[in-house]
Structure 1
Amino acid sequence: MHEIDLLSNIGLSIVAATFFALLARALKQPLILAYLAAGIVVGPKIGFGLIQDEASITLISEIGLILLLFIIGLEIDLRKLLSAGRTLIVSGLSQFLICAALGIGFFSLIGFDLRGGRFDALYLAVAMALSSTMIVVKILYDKFELSTLPGQITLGILVFQDIWAILFLSLQPNLMSPGASIILLSFVKGAGLVLFSLAVSKYLLSHVFSFIAKIPELLLVTAIAWCFLISGIAGEVGLSKEMGALVAGVSLSTFPYNIDVISKVTNIRDFFVTLFFVGLGLQIPVPTASLLAYAALASLFLVATRFLSVFPILYSMKEGLRSSLIPSINLSQMSEFSLVIASLGLGFNHIDSQVVGILTFVFAITSVASTYMIQYNHEIQLRIAPVLEKFGLKDIDRQSSTGEAVEQPKEIVFLGFYRETSSVFYEIESMLDENGVPLAKKVLVIDFNPVVHCELNKRDVKCIYGDISSVDTLMHAHVNHTKTLVCTIPDTILRGTTNEKLLSLSRRLCPQARVIVTANTLQAALNLYQQGADFVFIPRIHSAGLVARVISDSLHENLEHYREEEMTHLLARKEVLD
């Protein structure tokens, strides 16, 4: 009878989750919210009571939790983390600590316990300090912003948050007896598990995976076996099984097969993770007025602490207003990982169901809100920056610009500077004008990437830190005196403007200038020509000739000479952006 109930409960959970997932998809909301809603509707506390045996779903969903953390570990790139720049390291280390410290103080102040075996304030603080990798990466990927400077800073902080979460998971089982020796022992056990996993991974698993790499089923089974092995070892030594799964994933993250493992495990994980969040929804208490008030207050606190913990650090490291504000906006939501930590805390009796309920509603509120905040992060940044400037926080262009633009107007102005621009500028650096003057001396770049700003200054190239969609920025740069205006950035990368708008603005400010803009499609290029563009750069067309020639040559000769020439050429190129 129990087995029949288990199967029917699982089936009902999946059907309900699917229905709400389809609804969430139509409304463009995170799927996790749909799974939580499904648990609430079919559960015994708020919903229709279609599922009474919560333990059966919770038992199955624990497998999904372990697989979820295994996947998160696989996606943590240790090499990128170790090679991260100073800005990422400082902001990644400080953000969590600042948010957690502010959280403990705030939640203790409004009445949550941190004594007598209860850790409500601590769990709320830790949960508020973590942001959603799933939501942030998805939206930034859709907006083509993952490779931008604010996108890279955002991703770097998310990776460090995962590391902080691992440390908290290692301490979680021993919070009831947090003596110095116990905490030290937990760190030793955690470090020992990490070192053991990395050593076995390097000296044994690397050979095993190389041997079975061409057998997909065996690759999947071996990866999952490794996950549950390390998870089991972690449980035996007094650490959480979930932490063991995370460590198992991290130990495989540098393998060339990790992408393949992720793609295979993801399908299995999604089934169990769905049950995990449905199970979490089953445990949500009836939302009282006080619970909703706490959730709303905590959501506002979360957004505020992102600005208090991220913006000052980045701004103090000379990243400018834009690159300091946008990561703060991007990270203004609670992580699904926080719900995992809260669920484990409930199992350890560290917190009660009210705290889980508050965190669930905070997750729902901030997930929906941040979806729109990230979507319109540039517009929000443009509204906040002038307010900060009134309080004396100057942007990079205001701090370092001189009167050079007025005295020596540049003949070539690049509107924005991205990878295509970097390559074009590299070619220009080797050119001379008719009088033998280096062409690069005639260039002015307008862009809001501090890395570009710094590198161009080293090359003695004039660069103004500013927004190319702003008339004030272009007037400040005195583009009305230039001969050629260039934008080699496609509309998919531009934010707050388009090539069409830049063309129109350029014609209004400097009608005598030649204007070069960029398009990705033939129709867009024709439209730009019809609106007065002097030349339209179409990357795929203007690079097609070389590739076609290489393909043709490959039919009757090997491509070794191309390969050698290209490698030599690439090694010699020292562009502003890699």
Structure 2
Amino acid sequence: MEGGVFESFFLIFCGAAVVASVALYTRQPLLVAYIAVGAILGPFGLEIIKDVHYVAEMSHIGIIFLLFLLGLDMQPSALLNVLKKATSIALISSAIFGALGYGFGVIIGFSHMESLVLAMASMFSSTIIGIKLLPTTVLHHKHSGDLMVGLLLFQDFIAILCLLVLLSGGGDTVEPMKLIKAIAALPLLAAGAFLFVRFVLLKLIQKFDRFHEYIFLLAIGWCLGLAHLSESVNLSAEIGAFIAGISLATSPISQYIALNLRPLRDFFLVLFFFALGAQLNIPLLPSVLLPALIFAAVVLAAKPTVFFLLLKQQSEKTSLAWDLGFRLGQISEFSILIVFVAATNNLIGEQASLLIQTTAILTFIVSSYIVIFNFPNPIAVSDKLRRD
């Protein structure tokens, strides 16, 4: 990073603190402030921080910790029950949004492959936005929280399959063994994690639970270790982190671990949103702004409506169906990763890449505004809606 790690961190967090203060005074979401700081200080803004590659790499750890904490607060039996209900909704909604993205790409003149990548990028909702803006009491103790986690996890698995397709040649020369390996690895990884926790990790925790520093270190090592193992078998680090968390969920110390890791998670999530803003190519933005605005509007209207209709078919209450629909009404951070993989493999052009990134950021921002000003969430500017 230009100017060194310390200087970059100083600029990122001091800048975020200043802009966040302004955002709170003007009743704006903090997530928007972090993205704005990235756009201002990044290589396409004032060029104060010219290389954000390492920041983007480190920010991924925030998503990993986010999934680990989710797992810590969810019992395995509850996950199995909610996945049964979420599977059909995730499959049908992903197919609808994929068709929507592909059709839009064809209409604006994208190639078949660029339209296919746009379809993949449109299929999923943001884990970070969905989970960060859900009150903790809802997330961990209510049916709506379990249902959202189930939907996001199933979407993550579909996203992994899409990434494997892109990595294996872009859809024309798919390597079936990679897909088979990923599908087979999931239950094996989960079974291995639960056995390791039962016969090794819990015994270590019971023996040394009075050494808080050791428990903290052990939890981070277990989370990142299983995340890395997951990546090595063609799954994602996020899925590995979630399995690491849920395998520890039955332990009496799980809540202690969760409480101590939350500040670390938030530290890396600030970096994630900063990197998101910093990687936006502002000089080229006018060339894709109109189609990005149109597609963002389509996504923001279609996603809540589709989720509402699918949830109502599952006999969910109208209020819950709209609530989850709007919370899932944006494009995912996986969209950025899909764009990166596709661009690296020369499957899409720079305009297609920028359009998807711009659409993702627009839906992040507008969706955050909708949730923060209309639904209970931990960072609401209104006391009436603020729920921790």
Matched, 1:348 2:341: yes
Pick from 86, 89, 93: which aligns with 2:87?
93
Tell me the distance in 2 between the aligned counterparts of 1:128 and 1:303: 16
Q: Is the 8 A contact 1:102 1:305 kept in 2?
A: no
- TM-superposed CA distance for 1:122, in Å, is 0.8
Matched, 1:273 2:269: yes
Tell me the distance in 1 between the aligned counterparts of 2:41 and 2:114: 35
Q: Is the 8 A contact 2:63 2:238 kept in 1?
A: yes
Quick one: which amino acid aligns to residue 342 of structure 1? S
Q: Is the 8 A contact 2:124 2:159 kept in 1?
A: no
> CA 1:371–1:83 in 2, change beyond 3 Å: closer, same or farther?
same
* 2:152 alignment counterpart: 162
* 1:291 alignment counterpart: 289
Higher relative contact order (CA 8 A, sep 6+): 2
Larger CA Rg, structure 1 vs 2: 1
Pick from 308, 318, 324: which aligns with 2:318?
324
Tell me the distance in 1 between the aligned counterparts of 2:196 and 2:119: 38
Aligned ranges 1:399-548 → 2 under 5 Å? none
> CA 1:98–1:83 in 2, change beyond 3 Å: closer, same or farther?
closer
Aligned ranges 1:386-405 → 2 under 5 Å? none
Q: Is the 8 A contact 1:35 1:274 kept in 2?
A: yes
- TM-superposed CA distance for 1:231, in Å, is 2.1
- TM-superposed CA distance for 1:278, in Å, is 0.7
Pick from 83, 86, 104: which aligns with 1:110?
104
- TM-superposed CA distance for 1:261, in Å, is 0.7
Q: How much is the aligned-residue C-alpha RMSD, in angstroms?
A: 3.3
- TM-superposed CA distance for 1:254, in Å, is 2.7
- TM-superposed CA distance for 1:227, in Å, is 1.4
TM-score when normalising by structure 1: 0.55
Tell me the distance in 2 between the aligned counterparts of 1:212 and 1:53: 42
> CA 1:113–1:68 in 2, change beyond 3 Å: closer, same or farther?
farther
> CA 1:80–1:205 in 2, change beyond 3 Å: closer, same or farther?
same
Tell me the distance in 2 between the aligned counterparts of 1:114 and 1:152: 42
- TM-superposed CA distance for 1:108, in Å, is 0.8
Q: Is the 8 A contact 2:280 2:354 kept in 1?
A: yes
| More strand per residue | 1
Q: Which runs of 5+ in 1 are unaligned?
A: 377-491, 494-578
Q: Is the 8 A contact 1:36 1:281 kept in 2?
A: yes
Q: Is the 8 A contact 1:64 1:273 kept in 2?
A: yes
* 1:413 alignment counterpart: none
Quick one: which amino acid aligns to residue 164 of structure 2? N
* 2:171 alignment counterpart: none
* 2:51 alignment counterpart: 53
Q: Is the 8 A contact 1:230 1:245 kept in 2?
A: yes
Matched, 1:12 2:11: yes
- TM-superposed CA distance for 1:335, in Å, is 7.5
Q: Is the 8 A contact 1:114 1:121 kept in 2?
A: no
Q: Is the 8 A contact 1:65 1:273 kept in 2?
A: yes
Q: Is the 8 A contact 2:101 2:115 kept in 1?
A: no
* 2:194 alignment counterpart: 198
Tell me the distance in 2 between the aligned counterparts of 1:154 and 1:175: 32
- TM-superposed CA distance for 1:346, in Å, is 3.8
Q: Is the 8 A contact 2:135 2:376 kept in 1?
A: no
Tell me the distance in 2 between the aligned counterparts of 1:59 and 1:157: 30
Q: Which runs of 5+ in 2 are unaligned?
A: 169-173, 378-383
Aligned ranges 1:1-400 → 2 under 5 Å? 4-45=3-44, 47-83=45-81, 89-90=84-85, 92-111=86-105, 115=113, 119-127=117-125, 132-137=130-135, 146=138, 152-168=142-158, 170-176=160-166, 177=168, 178-286=174-282, 287-288=285-286, 290-291=288-289, 293-314=291-312, 317=315, 323-334=317-328, 338-339=332-333, 341-349=334-342, 352-374=353-375
Tell me the distance in 1 between the aligned counterparts of 2:144 and 2:68: 22
SS at match of 1:331: helix
Quick one: which amino acid aligns to residue 213 of structure 2? E
Residue identity over aligned pairs, in percent, reads 22
Q: Is the 8 A contact 2:69 2:245 kept in 1?
A: yes
SS at match of 1:110: helix
> CA 1:100–1:192 in 2, change beyond 3 Å: closer, same or farther?
same
SS at match of 1:121: helix
Listed one character per residue, the Cα deviations across residues 289-311 of structure 1 (whole Å, up to 9, x for unaligned) are 74354345434434433333333
Q: Is the 8 A contact 1:44 1:282 kept in 2?
A: yes
Q: Is the 8 A contact 1:334 1:362 kept in 2?
A: no
- TM-superposed CA distance for 1:41, in Å, is 1.2
Tell me the distance in 1 between the aligned counterparts of 2:194 and 2:242: 12
Tell me the distance in 1 between the aligned counterparts of 2:240 and 2:65: 11
Tell me the distance in 2 between the aligned counterparts of 1:99 and 1:190: 23
Q: Is the 8 A contact 2:56 2:275 kept in 1?
A: yes
Quick one: which amino acid aligns to residue 244 of structure 1? G
